[in-house]
Amino acid sequence: MPHVDWQRGDHARGLPLAQPGPHMSVAAFQRVAFVASATEDAQSALNQLSARYGNVAVDDADVVVALGGDGFMLQTLHRLLGRGIPIYGMNRGTIGFLMNDFHEDDLTQRLNNAEETVTHPLRMKAVDVDGQEHEALAINEVSLFRQTHQVAKISISIDSKMRMPELVADGVLVATPTGSTAYNLSAHGPIVPLGSPLVALTPLSPFRPRRWRGALLPDQAVIEFGVLNPDKRPVAAVADHNEIRRVSKVRVELDRNTPLVMLHDPGHSLDERILTEQFGF
Protein backbone atom coordinates (compact mmCIF):
# COMPACT_ATOMS: atom_id res chain seq x y z
CA MET A 1 0.00 0.00 0.00
CA PRO A 2 1.51 3.36 -0.97
CA HIS A 3 2.49 5.96 1.61
CA VAL A 4 0.03 8.79 2.11
CA ASP A 5 0.84 12.21 3.48
CA TRP A 6 -2.46 12.76 5.26
CA GLN A 7 -1.52 16.11 6.76
CA ARG A 8 -0.96 17.65 3.35
CA GLY A 9 -3.77 15.67 1.72
CA ASP A 10 -1.55 15.16 -1.32
CA HIS A 11 -1.69 11.49 -2.12
CA ALA A 12 -1.63 8.23 -0.94
CA ARG A 13 -12.07 -4.87 -1.01
CA GLY A 14 -19.63 -4.27 0.66
CA LEU A 15 -19.49 -2.68 6.11
CA PRO A 16 -21.75 -3.09 9.17
CA LEU A 17 -25.30 -1.91 9.90
CA ALA A 18 -25.89 1.39 8.13
CA GLN A 19 -28.57 4.00 8.63
CA PRO A 20 -29.14 6.72 6.01
CA GLY A 21 -28.62 10.14 7.49
CA PRO A 22 -29.76 13.61 6.42
CA HIS A 23 -28.22 15.41 3.47
CA MET A 24 -25.30 17.55 4.47
CA SER A 25 -25.69 21.31 4.31
CA VAL A 26 -23.87 23.50 1.80
CA ALA A 27 -21.87 25.10 4.59
CA ALA A 28 -20.54 21.72 5.68
CA PHE A 29 -18.43 21.37 2.55
CA GLN A 30 -16.47 24.60 2.32
CA ARG A 31 -13.13 22.85 2.94
CA VAL A 32 -12.35 19.77 0.84
CA ALA A 33 -9.35 17.45 1.25
CA PHE A 34 -8.38 15.26 -1.67
CA VAL A 35 -6.44 12.01 -1.11
CA ALA A 36 -5.44 9.60 -3.87
CA SER A 37 -3.82 6.26 -4.48
CA ALA A 38 -0.46 6.16 -6.22
CA THR A 39 -1.83 5.07 -9.61
CA GLU A 40 -1.38 7.35 -12.60
CA ASP A 41 -5.15 7.84 -13.05
CA ALA A 42 -5.65 8.73 -9.40
CA GLN A 43 -2.71 11.13 -9.33
CA SER A 44 -3.90 12.86 -12.49
CA ALA A 45 -7.37 13.29 -10.97
CA LEU A 46 -5.81 14.63 -7.78
CA ASN A 47 -3.94 17.32 -9.68
CA GLN A 48 -6.98 18.32 -11.74
CA LEU A 49 -9.37 18.53 -8.80
CA SER A 50 -6.92 20.24 -6.45
CA ALA A 51 -6.25 22.96 -9.01
CA ARG A 52 -9.96 23.51 -9.57
CA TYR A 53 -11.41 23.22 -6.05
CA GLY A 54 -8.45 23.72 -3.73
CA ASN A 55 -7.07 21.13 -1.32
CA VAL A 56 -6.84 21.52 2.45
CA ALA A 57 -5.18 19.22 4.97
CA VAL A 58 -7.35 16.31 6.11
CA ASP A 59 -7.32 17.59 9.69
CA ASP A 60 -8.86 20.87 8.52
CA ALA A 61 -11.42 19.37 6.11
CA ASP A 62 -15.22 19.27 6.21
CA VAL A 63 -15.20 16.38 3.73
CA VAL A 64 -12.57 14.04 2.27
CA VAL A 65 -12.70 13.02 -1.39
CA ALA A 66 -10.86 9.71 -1.95
CA LEU A 67 -9.60 8.99 -5.46
CA GLY A 68 -8.78 5.36 -6.25
CA GLY A 69 -10.38 1.93 -6.00
CA ASP A 70 -12.13 0.01 -3.24
CA GLY A 71 -8.85 -0.93 -1.56
CA PHE A 72 -7.85 2.70 -1.25
CA MET A 73 -11.34 3.60 -0.01
CA LEU A 74 -10.96 1.02 2.76
CA GLN A 75 -7.58 2.46 3.64
CA THR A 76 -9.09 5.94 3.84
CA LEU A 77 -11.99 4.73 5.98
CA HIS A 78 -9.56 3.04 8.38
CA ARG A 79 -7.43 6.15 8.57
CA LEU A 80 -10.44 8.28 9.54
CA LEU A 81 -12.18 5.77 11.82
CA GLY A 82 -14.13 7.42 14.58
CA ARG A 83 -13.54 10.98 13.41
CA GLY A 84 -16.94 11.40 11.76
CA ILE A 85 -15.54 13.16 8.68
CA PRO A 86 -17.68 12.34 5.61
CA ILE A 87 -15.80 10.50 2.86
CA TYR A 88 -16.84 10.73 -0.77
CA GLY A 89 -15.07 8.25 -3.03
CA MET A 90 -14.57 8.68 -6.77
CA ASN A 91 -13.51 5.66 -8.80
CA ARG A 92 -10.03 5.82 -10.25
CA GLY A 93 -9.44 2.07 -9.73
CA THR A 94 -11.06 -1.10 -11.08
CA ILE A 95 -14.33 -2.36 -9.56
CA GLY A 96 -15.22 0.68 -7.47
CA PHE A 97 -18.09 -0.92 -5.53
CA LEU A 98 -17.70 1.62 -2.74
CA MET A 99 -17.06 4.54 -5.07
CA ASN A 100 -18.98 7.14 -7.05
CA ASP A 101 -18.34 7.70 -10.75
CA PHE A 102 -15.52 10.08 -11.54
CA HIS A 103 -16.40 13.44 -13.06
CA GLU A 104 -14.35 16.58 -12.70
CA ASP A 105 -17.31 18.94 -13.12
CA ASP A 106 -19.88 20.03 -10.51
CA LEU A 107 -18.12 18.42 -7.54
CA THR A 108 -19.42 20.95 -5.02
CA GLN A 109 -23.00 20.33 -6.12
CA ARG A 110 -22.50 16.56 -6.04
CA LEU A 111 -21.16 16.75 -2.51
CA ASN A 112 -24.06 18.88 -1.33
CA ASN A 113 -26.62 16.55 -2.98
CA ALA A 114 -24.97 13.34 -1.78
CA GLU A 115 -26.77 10.85 0.46
CA GLU A 116 -25.08 10.08 3.77
CA THR A 117 -24.66 6.58 5.21
CA VAL A 118 -23.34 6.04 8.74
CA THR A 119 -21.80 2.64 9.45
CA HIS A 120 -19.87 0.93 12.22
CA PRO A 121 -17.00 -1.56 11.99
CA LEU A 122 -16.47 -4.93 13.60
CA ARG A 123 -14.06 -5.05 16.52
CA MET A 124 -11.81 -8.09 16.72
CA LYS A 125 -10.12 -9.07 19.97
CA ALA A 126 -7.67 -11.91 19.50
CA VAL A 127 -5.43 -13.80 21.93
CA ASP A 128 -2.42 -15.59 20.50
CA VAL A 129 -0.83 -18.80 21.78
CA ASP A 130 1.60 -16.79 23.89
CA GLY A 131 -1.26 -15.03 25.68
CA GLN A 132 -0.73 -11.69 23.94
CA GLU A 133 -3.93 -9.73 23.30
CA HIS A 134 -4.53 -7.91 20.01
CA GLU A 135 -7.33 -5.60 18.82
CA ALA A 136 -8.24 -4.44 15.33
CA LEU A 137 -11.24 -3.00 13.49
CA ALA A 138 -12.74 -4.44 10.29
CA ILE A 139 -14.99 -2.60 7.87
CA ASN A 140 -15.59 -5.63 5.60
CA GLU A 141 -14.91 -8.82 7.55
CA VAL A 142 -13.00 -10.67 10.24
CA SER A 143 -11.60 -13.96 8.92
CA LEU A 144 -9.87 -16.97 10.46
CA PHE A 145 -7.58 -19.01 8.17
CA ARG A 146 -5.55 -22.18 8.56
CA GLN A 147 -1.83 -21.46 8.41
CA THR A 148 -0.55 -24.89 7.27
CA HIS A 149 -1.59 -27.79 5.02
CA GLN A 150 -3.77 -29.15 7.85
CA VAL A 151 -7.37 -27.98 8.12
CA ALA A 152 -8.35 -25.76 11.02
CA LYS A 153 -10.53 -26.99 13.88
CA ILE A 154 -12.54 -24.14 15.39
CA SER A 155 -15.33 -23.92 17.97
CA ILE A 156 -18.03 -21.25 17.65
CA SER A 157 -19.96 -19.65 20.52
CA ILE A 158 -22.68 -17.02 20.12
CA ASP A 159 -23.46 -14.83 23.13
CA SER A 160 -21.57 -17.25 25.39
CA LYS A 161 -23.59 -20.28 24.18
CA MET A 162 -21.70 -22.99 22.32
CA ARG A 163 -23.28 -23.42 18.89
CA MET A 164 -20.64 -25.51 17.11
CA PRO A 165 -18.10 -27.47 19.18
CA GLU A 166 -15.98 -28.26 16.13
CA LEU A 167 -15.89 -26.77 12.65
CA VAL A 168 -13.34 -28.50 10.43
CA ALA A 169 -12.58 -26.17 7.54
CA ASP A 170 -10.07 -23.90 5.90
CA GLY A 171 -11.51 -21.19 8.11
CA VAL A 172 -14.53 -19.03 8.87
CA LEU A 173 -15.44 -15.35 8.57
CA VAL A 174 -17.83 -12.75 9.95
CA ALA A 175 -18.94 -10.17 7.38
CA THR A 176 -20.75 -6.87 7.71
CA PRO A 177 -23.54 -6.06 5.20
CA THR A 178 -21.14 -4.11 3.01
CA GLY A 179 -18.50 -6.79 3.35
CA SER A 180 -21.09 -9.43 2.46
CA THR A 181 -20.55 -8.61 -1.22
CA ALA A 182 -16.77 -9.03 -0.99
CA TYR A 183 -14.87 -12.11 0.25
CA ASN A 184 -18.04 -13.42 1.92
CA LEU A 185 -19.82 -13.63 -1.44
CA SER A 186 -16.85 -15.40 -3.01
CA ALA A 187 -17.10 -17.97 -0.20
CA HIS A 188 -20.80 -18.54 -1.12
CA GLY A 189 -22.05 -16.57 1.86
CA PRO A 190 -25.32 -14.59 1.73
CA ILE A 191 -25.59 -11.00 0.55
CA VAL A 192 -26.96 -8.93 3.44
CA PRO A 193 -28.99 -5.78 2.63
CA LEU A 194 -27.26 -2.74 4.04
CA GLY A 195 -30.04 -1.72 6.43
CA SER A 196 -30.37 -5.21 7.93
CA PRO A 197 -29.43 -5.58 11.61
CA LEU A 198 -27.46 -8.70 10.68
CA VAL A 199 -23.96 -10.02 10.11
CA ALA A 200 -23.03 -13.10 8.06
CA LEU A 201 -21.14 -16.04 9.57
CA THR A 202 -19.68 -18.05 6.68
CA PRO A 203 -17.39 -21.12 6.67
CA LEU A 204 -14.48 -21.37 4.25
CA SER A 205 -14.40 -24.76 2.46
CA PRO A 206 -16.07 -26.67 5.33
CA PHE A 207 -15.22 -30.37 5.64
CA ARG A 208 -17.28 -31.08 8.75
CA PRO A 209 -20.19 -30.39 9.20
CA ARG A 210 -20.04 -30.90 5.43
CA ARG A 211 -23.43 -29.36 4.66
CA TRP A 212 -23.17 -26.36 6.95
CA ARG A 213 -23.33 -23.15 4.95
CA GLY A 214 -23.15 -20.65 7.77
CA ALA A 215 -25.65 -18.45 9.60
CA LEU A 216 -27.15 -14.97 9.71
CA LEU A 217 -26.75 -13.45 13.16
CA PRO A 218 -28.13 -10.34 14.88
CA ASP A 219 -25.61 -7.55 14.64
CA GLN A 220 -25.70 -7.29 18.45
CA ALA A 221 -24.32 -10.83 18.79
CA VAL A 222 -20.95 -11.49 20.36
CA ILE A 223 -19.18 -14.20 18.38
CA GLU A 224 -16.33 -16.16 19.96
CA PHE A 225 -14.05 -18.56 18.16
CA GLY A 226 -11.80 -21.08 19.88
CA VAL A 227 -8.92 -22.64 17.98
CA LEU A 228 -8.68 -26.34 18.79
CA ASN A 229 -5.11 -27.63 19.02
CA PRO A 230 -3.51 -24.35 17.89
CA ASP A 231 0.04 -25.72 18.09
CA LYS A 232 -0.64 -28.54 15.60
CA ARG A 233 -3.23 -26.64 13.54
CA PRO A 234 -2.25 -22.96 13.69
CA VAL A 235 -4.79 -20.33 12.65
CA ALA A 236 -4.41 -16.68 11.68
CA ALA A 237 -7.06 -14.03 12.34
CA VAL A 238 -7.44 -11.13 9.91
CA ALA A 239 -9.47 -7.94 10.39
CA ASP A 240 -9.57 -6.49 6.86
CA HIS A 241 -5.81 -6.13 6.30
CA ASN A 242 -4.59 -6.57 9.91
CA GLU A 243 -3.32 -10.13 10.48
CA ILE A 244 -2.60 -11.83 13.82
CA ARG A 245 -0.93 -15.24 13.50
CA ARG A 246 -1.17 -18.31 15.77
CA VAL A 247 -4.31 -17.21 17.60
CA SER A 248 -6.03 -19.30 20.28
CA LYS A 249 -9.20 -17.24 20.81
CA VAL A 250 -10.99 -14.57 18.79
CA ARG A 251 -13.94 -12.42 19.84
CA VAL A 252 -15.92 -10.39 17.26
CA GLU A 253 -18.67 -7.81 17.81
CA LEU A 254 -19.97 -4.62 16.24
CA ASP A 255 -18.33 -1.46 17.55
CA ARG A 256 -21.21 1.04 17.74
CA ASN A 257 -18.99 3.71 19.25
CA THR A 258 -16.94 4.12 16.09
CA PRO A 259 -18.78 5.83 13.23
CA LEU A 260 -17.93 5.82 9.55
CA VAL A 261 -19.62 8.37 7.30
CA MET A 262 -19.79 7.72 3.55
CA LEU A 263 -21.37 9.87 0.84
CA HIS A 264 -22.88 8.58 -2.41
CA ASP A 265 -24.64 10.19 -5.33
CA PRO A 266 -28.47 9.86 -5.28
CA GLY A 267 -29.48 6.58 -6.91
CA HIS A 268 -26.02 5.10 -6.40
CA SER A 269 -26.14 4.38 -2.67
CA LEU A 270 -24.65 1.27 -1.12
CA ASP A 271 -28.21 -0.02 -0.57
CA GLU A 272 -28.84 0.13 -4.32
CA ARG A 273 -25.52 -1.46 -5.18
CA ILE A 274 -26.04 -4.36 -2.78
CA LEU A 275 -29.55 -4.91 -4.16
CA THR A 276 -28.22 -4.86 -7.70
CA GLU A 277 -25.49 -7.34 -6.79
CA GLN A 278 -28.13 -9.90 -5.79
CA PHE A 279 -29.42 -9.95 -9.36
CA GLY A 280 -26.02 -10.67 -10.85
CA PHE A 281 -25.15 -7.28 -12.34
Is 42 flagged in the annotation as binding? no
Is 201 flagged in the annotation as binding? no
Contact (CB, 8 A) for 194 and 178: yes
Is 228 flagged in the annotation as binding? no
Is 136 flagged in the annotation as binding? no
CA 238/CA 93 separation, integer angstroms: 24
Is 216 flagged in the annotation as binding? no
Q: Residue 36: CB partners within 8 Å, gap ≥ 6?
A: 11, 12, 42, 43, 45, 46, 66, 67, 68, 72, 92
Phi, psi of 70, deg, nearest 5: -60, -40
Contact (CB, 8 A) for 12 and 44: no
Max distance between CA atoms of the chain, in angstroms, equals 59
Is 171 flagged in the annotation as binding? no
User: What are the strands of the beta sheet with 247-254, ordered from one edge?
Assistant: 133-138, 122-128, 247-254, 223-227, 152-158, 161-169
Is 248 flagged in the annotation as binding? no
Is 69 flagged in the annotation as binding? no
Q: Which of 5, 60, 70, 106 is catalytic?
A: 70
Is 242 flagged in the annotation as binding? yes
> In the annotation, is 10 catalytic?
no
Catalytic positions, written as ranges? 70
Please enumerate, by residue number, every residue annotated as part of a binding site for NAD(+): 70-71, 140-141, 170, 181-186, 242
Please enumerate, by residue number, every residue annotated as part of a binding site: 70-71, 140-141, 170, 181-186, 242
